Every structure is written in structure tokens, then in C-alpha cells.
């Protein structure tokens, strides 16, 4: 039933860890290191406080469990006692105490006892220890909390001799129960603490406690076994019963049970709780600044706030629950019997020795700290922001943790932001080019697939379409002029002619044209094109040529087709009239032709689809949606680009669209025919 000695108390569930550094920040022992962007608990440094379990919002920490061993032992008929920590009233606020005892008995435990009696025995030992007749003037640190003991042994080994040589209330209760009920009794501690499991596994040579469970695990086990308050027989705890030891889980509870005053004038006794207080108190105790005889410490804000408690009730309500139970127990306590019980255990060995387990790592030199800080961009004192985002209070502490192998530079949020900003500045241009190229490749693949599909469709449709056309015209010729069928035949013939034009467009789109490139002056090409244009009277034509040479290797006929399709779309975009502008310019090794209109613009939802085959916003029967796809294919074969600038929102400025075609002056005949489009 006993746990494995070297089994880690807490491990990380890697797939859940989001590396938020909360556990690093909250761990008082700094027992968590970041490795490959995962928070890893270091077993040798862990004191079992469970703070990382409590603060992890992703539930990425797994706590080692004795539950399966306990269940297996009870199933085998092992005679066992469950001893409940005095903090149980803070957990089981929904069940009266006698019903809870009945539920625990129903799991198969032969006995159910209270650790509070062990706390009474321990309190008596502290009263003796603090008497001036024993070790006068020697200061002690209370050892009721195993996480505190673990912290001192690992990180303040010089203070091991100051640890009070007294067992914890859990061990005291186990020894008392074994004496009363037999050495063959197995003892299972049930409480709010993860560190108790470590105490059971590593510090108990006499095998006083065989297993440890948390209150959360007890609730889960009761639910698994179907044990409820309404199907058990209530009963009281088995004796010996506790008295003021029931106050142990709250601050100064040990002092009250031991009848030791925390005299603020004499300041011989100081109590502290919570990770911030206990760490600071131990530092001051070690430095000699704290002139006390007893330092009573709890790692949590009282045991009622331990990580093994599943309740979410507020702190002071939990304290009230513990106080209410303690009052109830004292009112029912047979003082004479209790005194006899305490007297019967006066010779019970409650002593304990401690061994240093030094986990301190030698700090780096000042030069090494400065070198680490400079690698994180902290070259001057004002660069050390001490923001705490990394989980360490100061930048220097973070640098020291990096030196010790407990942290990574990337944990520094300002450093990471600066790295990302620098990388972003360096990669912005190349990223945009890559995005443009990627979009072009996707568009090219799409057009290639559509081209193959279009060629197949055109080939299969052409023959039956020719038959329809021929027969519809033959029937029209033979049909009497006054026949009622002539109108239907005319419709068939006109729609068949329209289909023929669509098929012709498909074939043109799918045709693998070669570029018959010749050196051509684009200014002359545009001027000749505009002389043949016939535009509606409501549209004004403007031609603009910037200074500079605008000759390039192009296929004249194909570029004229590009201009024809772009102008046709521009005219269609200005049904109420407007201005059509054609312009040319040269820039380095490229030339540009732009066709701009002052029309309605292209809505944002359509901008990425303008070059898709068969996409059109024109009414049915007025467009095939192949014009811009053909343009894109021609520009691509010329190793050029085509870009779109458009505005369809009058509130954002003048509406209209500009298509700009960019072509190389000299085509690379050995290279691939590539291009890109952006909108």
C-alpha cells in the first residue's frame, strides 16, 4: 500500500501546458524549469507545496496518487484506519461530520480517526520544547508543515539544526493508533496536502503511515463507489478524540493548542503563512534579524487552503467551519477521558531528525550575469524592466535562472517582442513577395486545371452544338413565315449561337498560345488602339504617356486583346458615364500599361475572384466570365504581373478601378513563364 519513494509528486501533462509561466512565477522553491517550451517540475527541488497545481488554469499538472494502492489493499481485506486531517470541515461543508465518518467506513476502513489527537500530542511536545528549562535560548522552526521542512532542507540546509525535532501531527496520530489498535494496522492519511505524500514516502523509517490521499481524491473515490450521505450509517470517529488540535489547520492553531502566546511585546514567537510570508520569514530567521524562539510557518494560507481541497468557499468561511467543528468537538469532549488518553501516550516517541538535501546552485559571477542580460537586450540598468512576465521577480533573477538551466531567454516578454519586431521588419518585404508568389502559383494551378477542363468541355460540346445550329437554321429556312414555331426556332438558333461564342472563348482560354515576341513601342501600340475605339458619348477618354522609353518584347496581338478586354470591362463599370484613362510608363527593366475608370468599383467580396474563370457580375447572357482569366494567362505567358486597385465605397473616396499590367522589357526565353496577380 506504500507509495514509491522516488516517484515524483507532480509532473506536467505536456499536451496541456501552454507555457504561461504562471507556475514558474508562483513556485516558492523555483523547482520548475522551461525545457523545449514546456514547464517541467524538477523532482529533487520540488517541496510538494502544490502551488503549481492550484494556479494552472489548463490543468496541466498531474499529482501522484496512492488511491489505486489503497483500493487494492482494502479489496484484499487489509485492516486499515483512515485518519482525517483537522481541515476536513473546510472541505466537507455539505455533510455533517458523523455522516462523513460513516461514508469513509463504507469504503472498507476498519477504523476512522482524527489527526487532531496527534496534533494535541505534538502541541504538548512544543510546549515542553519552548519551556526555558530545555535548550534555553535556542530558536526553532516548527515542523508541522512538510512543505516547510522540505524547503528548509533543500534551500536553507544551514537551518536544518533549527528544525523542531518533533514529528508532524499525522505521524503522531498514526503512532497513537498503532499502539492502541495493534502494529498490524495500516494507516491511510486523508487531508488537504500534496507534500504529505512525500513525507510518507521519504521520511518515515518506521512505516507509520502507509498511504496518503487528498480530500479531492476521497470525494472521487466515494463517487466511484456510489457512497452517498443517504445510504450510510452515521457514526463518530474512533478514539482517541482530539481537542484543541482541531485548530491546527488555521493560523496560530498550533500555538493555541500548545498554549503558547504570540506575545507582540516579547516577540519570542512569530507565525507566518503563505508562500510570500514564509520565504521572507525564513530568510530573516537565517540572517539573524529575527530574534525569536519559535517560528511557526505554514506554506499555504493555512491548511484549509491546501491544494488537495476541492471546495471553492472563501478563506474566512473555511476558518469558521473549522472553528465551528472544534467548538462542537470540545462541547462533546469527555475531558477526563481525553486527559487519560494523553497521559497514556506520554512515553510515545514523537521525536524526529532531519537531513540536509542541499539543492542550492552556485550563483554566476557578475560578468556572467551581465553577459546573459546583454544577450536579452538589457545592456543598461534602465533596460531591466523587472516586469515579472517571465515568472521571476527581477531580470537579474531570470538571468541567474538561465545560468542554472532553469529558464530560457524567450521567457522574457520584452525581449521576445523586440526579437519578433526585428524579425518582422526584416521579413515584411520578402513575406509580401512570397505571399504574392504563392497567390500567383495557386491562381496558375487553378487556371491550368480550368484550362484542361475547358478544352475537354469544348471538344465534347462542339460537335453536338454544330448539329443543333445547322438543324435549327435548316428548320427556319423551311418553316413558313406565318408559323407559330418560328419564334421558338429563332430562340433556339440565337441561344445556340451564344453557346458557340462561349465554346470559342473556352477554346481560346485553354489554348496553349506561344508568345511571338517582338520589340514593340507600347506608346505607339496604345495610340493606335485608341484611334479605333468607339466609346459611348458619356465616357471621356484620356491617354497619358510618361516620359521615358516604353519598348518591350511582347506579342502585339495578345497585348491588344488584353487592352480590349480591360477597356470593355471599364466601359461596363461606368453605365452612367465617366472617364477612361489609358497610361504607359517605364521603370527600370519593366514597362507598365494602366487602364483606369471612374466606375462603380469592385466590392471587397469579389476582389480575390476577379481572375477566376467564369466569375462575372454581369447579368445572365451578357458575359462569360472568361475575359480577365484570358488576360491573366496572357500576362503570365509574358512573365509579367497584373495588379488591381479599386474602391467601391464613395465614403472612402472617389470610386473606380485601375488595372496595371507590368511587363519585362526583355523576356527570359530560357526561364519559366511566371506571373502574379494581386487585388
Q: Is the pLDDT score of 445 beyond 70?
A: no
Q: Is the pLDDT score of 322 beyond 60?
A: yes
pLDDT band at 635 (very low <50, low <70, confident <90, very high): confident
Q: Is the pLDDT score of 570 beyond 90?
A: yes
Q: Is the pLDDT score of 513 beyond 60?
A: no
85, 170 contact by CB (below 8 A): yes
pLDDT, tens digit (0-9, with 9 covering 90-100), for 372-408: 988 888 888 888 888 888 888 899 888 888 888 888 8
For the residues 509-524, what does the mean pLDDT come to? 76
pLDDT band at 678 (very low <50, low <70, confident <90, very high): very low
Q: Is the pLDDT score of 423 beyond 80?
A: no
Q: Shortest CA distance to 249 belongs to which of 308, 198, 204? A: 308
**Could you give the percent of the chain with pLDDT greater than 70?**
86
**CATH of region 516-679:** 3.30.565.10
pLDDT band at 677 (very low <50, low <70, confident <90, very high): very low
For the residues 20-26, what does the mean pLDDT come to? 86
Query: Which pLDDT belongs to residue 210?
Result: 93
How would you classify the pairing of strands 656-664 and 590-597? antiparallel
Query: DSSP string of 342-374?
Result: HHHTTTS--B----------PPPPHHHHHHHHH
Q: Is the pLDDT score of 420 beyond 90?
A: no
pLDDT, tens digit (0-9, with 9 covering 90-100), for 209-248: 999 999 999 999 999 999 999 999 999 999 999 999 999 9
Which of the pair, 442 or 323, is modelled with greater confidence? Answer: 323
For residue 676, the tally of other CB atoms under 10 A from its CB is 22
Q: What share of the chain is helix, strand, coil (3-state, %, to 5)?
A: 45, 15, 40
Q: Is the pLDDT score of 674 beyond 50?
A: no
Q: Is the pLDDT score of 676 beyond 50?
A: no
Which of the pair, 168 or 625, is modelled with greater confidence? Answer: 168
643, 656 contact by CB (below 8 A): no
Q: Shortest CA distance to 401 belongs to which of 39, 56, 17? A: 39
pLDDT, tens digit (0-9, with 9 covering 90-100), for 179-199: 999 999 999 999 999 999 989
Cell reading at 519: 520589340
pLDDT band at 619 (very low <50, low <70, confident <90, very high): low
Query: Which pLDDT belongs to residue 218?
Result: 97
Q: What is the mean pLDDT of the chain?
A: 85
How would you classify the pairing of strands 140-141 and 186-191? unpaired
pLDDT band at 3 (very low <50, low <70, confident <90, very high): low
Three-state DSSP at 654 gives coil
Q: Is the pLDDT score of 673 beyond 60?
A: no
270, 281 contact by CB (below 8 A): yes
Q: Which of 109-123, 131-145, 445-459, 548-562 has the lowest mean pLDDT?
A: 445-459
The pTM of the whole model exceeds 0.85: no
For the residues 601-628, what does the mean pLDDT come to? 72
CA–centroid distance for 451 within its chain: 45
| Contact partners, residue 263, CB within 8 Å, separation at least 6 | 269
For the residues 334-340, what does the mean pLDDT come to? 94
Could you say which architecture CATH assigns to the domain 439-512?
Orthogonal Bundle (1.10)
Which of the pair, 250 or 421, is modelled with greater confidence? Answer: 250
Q: Is the pLDDT score of 511 beyond 60?
A: no
Query: Which pLDDT belongs to residue 411?
Result: 82
For residue 263, the tally of other CB atoms under 10 A from its CB is 9
Query: Which pLDDT belongs to residue 618?
Result: 65
- Enumerate the domain spans of the chain: 10-344, 366-411, 439-512, 516-679
Q: Is the pLDDT score of 71 beyond 90?
A: yes
| Contact partners, residue 421, CB within 8 Å, separation at least 6 | none
Report for 201-205, 254-258, 403-407, 517-521: range of highest mean pLDDT: 517-521
For the residues 51-69, what does the mean pLDDT come to? 92
Alpha helix locations (H) across 378-537?
A: 395-403, 413-478, 486-510, 522-531
Q: Is the pLDDT score of 134 beyond 80?
A: no
pLDDT, tens digit (0-9, with 9 covering 90-100), for 270-287: 889 988 899 999 999 999
Q: Is the pLDDT score of 612 beyond 80?
A: no
C-alpha distances (whole Å) from 50 to each of 26, 177, 651, 669 are 10, 28, 59, 70
C-alpha distances (whole Å) from 203 to each of 12, 174, 179 are 25, 14, 20
Q: Which of 145-149, 262-266, 591-595, 599-603 has the lowest mean pLDDT?
A: 262-266
**Could you give the percent of the chain with pLDDT greater than 90?**
50
| Contact partners, residue 127, CB within 8 Å, separation at least 6 | 258, 259, 260
Query: Which pLDDT belongs to residue 440?
Result: 57
Q: Which of 97-111, 204-218, 359-373, 614-628 has the lowest mean pLDDT?
A: 614-628
Q: Which of 36-45, 186-195, 260-269, 275-284 has the lowest mean pLDDT?
A: 260-269
Query: Which pLDDT belongs to residue 482?
Result: 80
Query: Which pLDDT belongs to residue 143?
Result: 94
C-alpha distances (whole Å) from 220 to each of 77, 227, 310, 602, 674 are 21, 10, 10, 62, 65
Amino acid at each position: 500500500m506504500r507509495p514509491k519513494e522516488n516517484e515524483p509528486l507532480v509532473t506536467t501533462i505536456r499536451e496541456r501546458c501552454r507555457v504561461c509561466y504562471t507556475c514558474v512565477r508562483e513556485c516558492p522553491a523555483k523547482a520548475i524549469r522551461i525545457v523545449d517550451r514546456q514547464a517541467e517540475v524538477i523532482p529533487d527541488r520540488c517541496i510538494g507545496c502544490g502551488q503549481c497545481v492550484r494556479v494552472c488554469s489548463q490543468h496541466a499538472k498531474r499529482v501522484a496518487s496512492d488511491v489505486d494502492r489503497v483500493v487494492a489493499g482494502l479489496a484484499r481485506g487489509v485492516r486499515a484506519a483512515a485518519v482525517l486531517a483537522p481541515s476536513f470541515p473546510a472541505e466537507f461543508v455539505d455533510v455533517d461530520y458523523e455522516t462523513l465518518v460513516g461514508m469513509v467506513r463504507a469504503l472498507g476502513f476498519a477504523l476512522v480517526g482524527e489527526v487532531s489527537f496527534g496534533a494535541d500530542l505534538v502541541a504538548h511536545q512544543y510546549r515542553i520544547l519552548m519551556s526555558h528549562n530545555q535548550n534555553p535560548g535556542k530558536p526553532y522552526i516548527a515542523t508541522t508543515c512538510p512543505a516547510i521542512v522540505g524547503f528548509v532542507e533543500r534551500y536553507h540546509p544551514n537551518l536544518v539544526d533549527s528544525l523542531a525535532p518533533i514529528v508532524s501531527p499525522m505521524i503522531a496520530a498514526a503512532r497513537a493508533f498503532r499502539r492502541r489498535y495493534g502494529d498490524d494496522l495500516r494507516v491511510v492519511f486523508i487531508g488537504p496536502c500534496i507534500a504529505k505524500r512525500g513525507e510518507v514516502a521519504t521520511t518515515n523509517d518506521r512505516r507509520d503511515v502507509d498511504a496518503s490521499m487528498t480530500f479531492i481524491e476521497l470525494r472521487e473515490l466515494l463517487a466511484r463507489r456510489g457512497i452517498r450521505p443517504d445510504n450510510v450509517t452515521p457514526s463518530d470517529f474512533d478514539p482517541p478524540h482530539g481537542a484543541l488540535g482541531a485548530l491546527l489547520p488555521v493560523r496560530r492553531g498550533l500555538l493555541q493548542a500548545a498554549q503558547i502566546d504570540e506575545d507582540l511585546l516579547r516577540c519570542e514567537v512569530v507565525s507566518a503563512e503563505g508562500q510570500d510570508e514564509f520565504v521572507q520569514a525564513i530568510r530573516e530567521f537565517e540572517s539573524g534579524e529575527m530574534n525569536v524562539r519559535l517560528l511557526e510557518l505554514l506554506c499555504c494560507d493555512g491548511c484549509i487552503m491546501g491544494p488537495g481541497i476541492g471546495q471553492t468557499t472563501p478563506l474566512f468561511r473555511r476558518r469558521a467551519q473549522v472553528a465551528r467543528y472544534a467548538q462542537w468537538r470540545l462541547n462533546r469532549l469527555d475531558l477526563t477521558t481525553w486527559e487519560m488518553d494523553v497521559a497514556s501516550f506520554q512515553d510515545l516517541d514523537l521525536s524526529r531528525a532531519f537531513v540536509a538535501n542541499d539543492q542550492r546552485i552556485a550563483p554566476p559571477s557578475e560578468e556572467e550575469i551581465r553577459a546573459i542580460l546583454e544577450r536579452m537586450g538589457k545592456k543598461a540598468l534602465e533596460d531591466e524592466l523587472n516586469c515579472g512576465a517571465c515568472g521571476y521577480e527581477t531580470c537579474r533573477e531570470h538571468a541567474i535562472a538561465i545560468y542554472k538551466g532553469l529558464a530560457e531567454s524567450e521567457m522574457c516578454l520584452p525581449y521576445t517582442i523586440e526579437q519578433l519586431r526585428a524579425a518582422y521588419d526584416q521579413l515584411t518585404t520578402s513575406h509580401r513577395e512570397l505571399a504574392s508568389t504563392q497567390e500567383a502559383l495557386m491562381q496558375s494551378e487553378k487556371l491550368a486545371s480550368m484550362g484542361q477542363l475547358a478544352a475537354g468541355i469544348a471538344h465534347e460540346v462542339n460537335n453536338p452544338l454544330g448539329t443543333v445550329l445547322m438543324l435549327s437554321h435548316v428548320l427556319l429556312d423551311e418553316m413558313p413565315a406565318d408559323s407559330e414555331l418560328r419564334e421558338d426556332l429563332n430562340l433556339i438558333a440565337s441561344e445556340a449561337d451564344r453557346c458557340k461564342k462561349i465554346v470559342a472563348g473556352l477554346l481560346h482560354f485553354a489554348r496553349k498560345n506561344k508568345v511571338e515576341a517582338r520589340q514593340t513601342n507600347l506608346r505607339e501600340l496604345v495610340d493606335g488602339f485608341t484611334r479605333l475605339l468607339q466609346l459611348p458619348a458619356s465616357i471621356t477618354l484620356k491617354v497619358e504617356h510618361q516620359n521615358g522609353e516604353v519598348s518591350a518584347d511582347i506579342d502585339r496581338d495578345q497585348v491588344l486583346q488584353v487592352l480590349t478586354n480591360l477597356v470593355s470591362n471599364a466601359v461596363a463599370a461606368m453605365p452612367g458615364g465617366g472617364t477612361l484613362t489609358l497610361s504607359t510608363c517605364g521603370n527600370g527593366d519593366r514597362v507598365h500599361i494602366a487602364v483606369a475608370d471612374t466606375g462603380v468599383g469592385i466590392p471587397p467580396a469579389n476582389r480575390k475572384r476577379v481572375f477566376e474563370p467564369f466569375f462575372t457580375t454581369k447579368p445572365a447572357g451578357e458575359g462569360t466570365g472568361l475575359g480577365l482569366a484570358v488576360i491573366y494567362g496572357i500576362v503570365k505567358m509574358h512573365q509579367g504581373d497584373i495588379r488591381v486597385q479599386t474602391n467601391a465605397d464613395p465614403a472612402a473616396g472617389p470610386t473606380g478601378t485601375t488595372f496595371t499590367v507590368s511587363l519585362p522589357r526583355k523576356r527570359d526565353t530560357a526561364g519559366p513563364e511566371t506571373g502574379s496577380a494581386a487585388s
